[in-house]
Amino acid sequence: MKLQIRRLAHGLGAEVRGADLSNLDTAAFDAIHAAWMEHLVLVFPEQRLTGLRFAAFSERFGDLEILGSYQGLDEYMDPDCRGLMTVTNRNIRNEPSRTRAVGRKWHADRSFVPQAPIGTFLYCREIPEVGGDTLFSNQYRAYDTLSEGLKGVLDGLWAVHDVLGRQDSLVKALSPEELARKRLMDPPTAQPVVRVHEVTGKKALYVSEAVTTAILGMTEKESRPLLEYLFRHSVKPEFTYRHHWRVDDVVMWDNRCAMHLALADFDPAQFRTMLRTSVVGPVTGHALKEY
């Protein structure tokens, strides 16, 4: 069956029908990859996959990122595939899930490490009666719509990405021992403010309100107004797509040129459960151990 690809928003996103993700031939995979490069976010409705088949589809785009012990999330990882993770607000081992409130600020996944994932994949297994949506924003358009003068300023700049600098509820919940261990594993990382996509060659903004804390070479007072402007500009409504999840949706997005935000727009007493994978990318940043 020929793939049917339909745009979902002006900013980014497309729905793909006619694809069985557990059984793709080379031509179908190539068409999906081309659509991914064009639309940044792809939605595959009504998939019927096991967790391992979902992981196998993801792995066709590159090596799976393995978080597990590194993040202290062993109990969320599939024992048969360490690159397959459960993101849920259900209790885990009779304790509140540590993944229940992830992604509540705009971000590109794990930009706070030098080798951030190029792509992330979610497979919806449970969704509340209403809500549980995810927003996406096109960072090609965010960059392209800046003035030529500001582009000239930003090209070549580097920014500090620090997962512990955001001081959100998840960070504040860490014990002093956990905080020290995470700081050792995830020191602040320098990333380019403007990232050049290694496949398309296009430029995209690569800063986020979740983890970008400063511009290298500037004081905090100098860099903060610039970053605040970029944070607001990068998520203008005309750059965005809002995904209303349905059970058995598979959604994949390109972290090199798209940001996302998991909305807390649902009753926390209802369950939201996703399977998650991510694909390792090239090294684009470097750790700032002395920062």
- Active site residues per annotation: 107, 109, 260, 276
Distance (Å, whole) CA 247 – CA 250:
9
The tens digit of pLDDT for each residue in 144-155 reads 999 999 999 999
Nearest Cα residue to 53 out of 11, 89, 24: 24
Q: How far apart are CA 45 and CA 251, in angstroms?
A: 8
For residue 171, the model assigns a pLDDT of 61
Q: Over the stretch 207-248, which tens digit does the pLDDT of each residue have?
A: 999 999 999 999 889 999 999 999 999 999 999 999 999 999
SS3 (DSSP) at 137: strand
Q: What is the pLDDT of residue 12?
A: 98
**φ, ψ of residue 186 in degrees (nearest 5):** -125, 70
Residue 138 has pLDDT above 90, yes or no: yes
Mean pLDDT of 74-93: 90
| Inter-residue contact 95 to 220 (CB < 8 Å) | no
Stretch 125-150: mean pLDDT, rounded?
Answer: 98
| Dist CA 212 CA 230 (whole Å) | 11
Average pLDDT over residues 32-51: 98
Q: Where are the domains of the chain?
A: 4-287
- Greatest CA span in the chain, whole angstroms? 57
Q: What is the C-alpha end-to-end distance of the chain, expressed in Å? A: 54
Per-residue pLDDT band for 188 (boundaries 50, 70, 90) equals: very high
3-class DSSP state of 156: coil
118 φ/ψ sector (left φ>0, alpha ψ -120 to 50, else beta)? alpha
Cβ count near 290 (within 10 Å): 6
Which residues sit opposite 41 in a β-bridge? 253
Rounded to the nearest angstrom, the gap between the alpha carbon of residue 10 and the centroid of all alpha carbons in its chain is: 20
- pLDDT for res 98: 85
Residues 6+ apart with CB under 8 A from 53: 21, 22
Superfamily of domain 4-287: Clavaminate synthase-like (3.60.130.10)
